[in-house]
Structure formats: structure tokens, C-alpha cells
């Protein structure tokens, strides 16, 4: 088998992954504090938006990002786990069967966490969502721990640095298994959108400009109006 360096993860998938990890970690550590509520809610909205993006990208994205590429039944998962105990662990260029189940669990629990958090923050359904939000978020944390442990175990067994491939996008494989396009434009747009949302939520723009953006915009609009009236 001829192997070479191939592109496996497109840029939107990588941007999604690391922003999701940052949003989850940030939202989790700020969950209990009233003083950090704005950060918690902003990261929660980011987390929910990223999951919605990934659900779409799973339908129309590149080969290994598509759900159809990692739709494995329970038998495939068991066979994969059994193979890890043998001398020749099953190798997958995209997500492996066990890892794929953790990913689906993260997406589903993530959606549940974001929706229950939205309901709670917007006082929909009273207190009912308080416990739901906490329980689902803790289940999500449990799956994330399993996910990270799984990544470490497969990296060791397959002698591949999987976290690095989620940064660079590259793995070793047959040339035919690689993807053709990295979709840099979409990846940059996704990262830009999230950064703009954070800048807006945390008042970074106001801090840099020295005045609320709305006021500045309104003033210049009024000046233009005066100018037109003079003419
Ligand atoms: C230090 C922490 C983490 C590391 C090193 C890591 C590493 C990885 C790696 C290497 C993959 C690709 C696995 C493969 O080759 O099949 C992956 C996929 C994934 N990880 Fe993580 N991960 C981390 C944290 C997280 C967190 C905190 C979350 C969610 C809250 C998360 C959610 C996901 C998801 C959803 C995927 C699927 C990516 C996709 O196809 O879009 N990860 N992770």
C-alpha cells in the first residue's frame, strides 16, 4: 500500500473543533458564577451556533466531515474495540467507529445543553430547565473526557498524533483517501463571525473606539443629514 501525506480535515471542521472546545471549557468553568454570567451565556450561544453549523456541514461538507462517512452501527463499534486488543488494530483515515459514537453524543448532548440554557436564560418554562441544563452539561463533560481519553489511546495504538492532525488537517494515507479542498474561505468566515460576536458581546469595539458604536454611527448619520439639508 502506497501511503503519503493527505488532507483529511478541512479548515471549517478544524475551526469548528477548536472553537467548540474553547467555548465548552469557558462556559463550563464560568457556569456557577453570577459575575461571569455574560461570558457563560456568550460562550453558550457560540457553542450552540457552532453545533448548528456542524450539523449542516455534516450534510454538505467534505468527505470525512460528512455524517455518511462515519455512520457506524453497534457491530462495527464492537469489532473496532475488539481489534484494539489485537495486534492489528483497525485503522480509519476519518473518524473511527468508537470515536464517531462519542462525536454523535457530543453533538446531541451539546444541542440539549445549548437549548436548555437558552430556555433558562430567557425564562421559558420557569425553573424546569435548571436541572435539565446542569444534568445534560455534566453528561456532556463525561463524554468529552471519554473523547479525549479515546483520542490519546488511538494516538498511541496507531502511532499517529491525532490532535496534531486536527490542527494541520493532515494524516498519512492512500492518495485516494484525501480531500481536494480545504475550504479556507468558509473556515475564515466562521472564525471571523465568532470573533466578531465575542467582540460585540464583550464590548471590545467600544473599548477600542472609546464610545459606543451606535452613538458614533448615529452622529455621523446626523451630520450627513445636516449636510444634505444645507445643500
Ligand atoms: C484537549 C482537548 C481535545 C483534544 C486533544 C481533541 C482532539 C480531537 C481529535 C484528534 C479529533 C479527531 C479524531 C479523529 O481523528 O477521528 C476530535 C474530534 C472531535 N472533537 Fe475533540 N478534542 C478535544 C476536546 C474536545 C472538546 C472539549 C469537545 C467538545 C466539547 C470536542 C469535540 C469534538 C468533536 C465534535 C469532534 C468531531 C470533529 C468533526 O468531525 O467535526 N473535542 N477531537
Domains along the sequence of the chain with CATH: 4-204 (1.20.950.20)
Distance of CA 150 to the CA centre of its chain: 18
| CA 24 to ligand 1: nearest atom | 30
Q: Over the chain, what is the mean pLDDT?
A: 91
pLDDT in tens, 192-217: 999 999 999 998 767 777 655 454 44
| CA 16 to ligand 1: nearest atom | 41
DSSP 150-180: HHHHHHHHHT--HHHHHHH-EEEE-GGGS-S
Pocket lining: 11 vs ligand 1, CB cutoff 6 Å = no
Question: Which residue's alpha carbon is nearest to atom 40 within ligand 1?
Answer: 65
12, three cell numbers: 471549517
Dihedral class, residue 125 (left if φ above 0, else alpha if ψ from -120 to 50, else beta): left
Pocket lining: 46 vs ligand 1, CB cutoff 6 Å = no
pLDDT in tens, 39-74: 999 999 999 999 999 999 999 999 999 999 999 999
Using CA atoms, how far apart are residues 97 and 157, in angstroms rounded to an integer? Answer: 15
Pocket lining: 139 vs ligand 1, CB cutoff 6 Å = no
Amino acid at each position: 500500500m502506497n501511503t503519503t501525506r493527505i488532507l483529511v480535515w478541512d479548515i471549517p471542521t478544524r475551526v469548528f473543533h477548536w472553537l467548540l472546545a474553547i467555548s465548552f471549557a469557558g462556559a463550563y468553568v464560568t457556569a456557577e458564577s453570577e459575575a461571569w454570567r455574560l461570558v457563560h451565556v456568550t460562550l453558550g450561544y457560540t457553542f450552540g451556533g457552532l453545533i448548528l453549523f456542524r450539523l449542516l456541514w455534516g450534510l454538505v461538507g467534505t468527505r470525512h466531515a460528512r455524517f455518511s462517512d462515519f455512520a457506524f452501527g453497534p457491530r462495527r463499534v464492537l469489532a473496532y474495540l475488539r481489534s484494539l486488543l489485537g495486534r492489528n488494530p483497525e485503522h480509519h483515515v476519518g473518524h473511527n467507529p468508537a470515536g464517531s459514537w462519542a462525536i454523535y453524543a457530543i453533538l446531541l448532548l451539546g444541542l440539549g445543553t445549548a437549548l436548555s440554557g437558552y430556555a433558562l436564560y430567557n425564562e421559558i418554562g420557569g425553573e424546569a430547565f435548571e436541572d435539565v441544563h446542569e444534568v445534560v452539561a455534566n453528561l456532556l463533560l463525561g463524554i468529552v473526557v471519554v473523547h479525549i481519553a479515546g483520542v490519546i489511546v488511538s494516538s498511541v495504538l496507531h502511532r499517529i498524533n491525532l490532535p496534531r492532525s486536527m490542527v494541520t488537517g493532515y494524516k498519512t494515507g492512500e492518495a485516494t483517501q484525501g480531500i481536494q479542498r480545504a475550504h479556507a474561505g468558509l473556515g475564515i468566515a466562521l472564525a471571523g463571525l465568532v470573533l466578531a460576536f465575542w467582540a460585540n458581546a464583550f464590548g471590545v469595539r467600544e473599548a477600542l473606539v472609546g464610545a459606543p458604536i451606535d452613538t458614533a454611527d448615529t452622529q455621523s448619520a446626523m451630520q450627513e443629514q445636516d449636510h444634505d439639508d444645507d445643500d
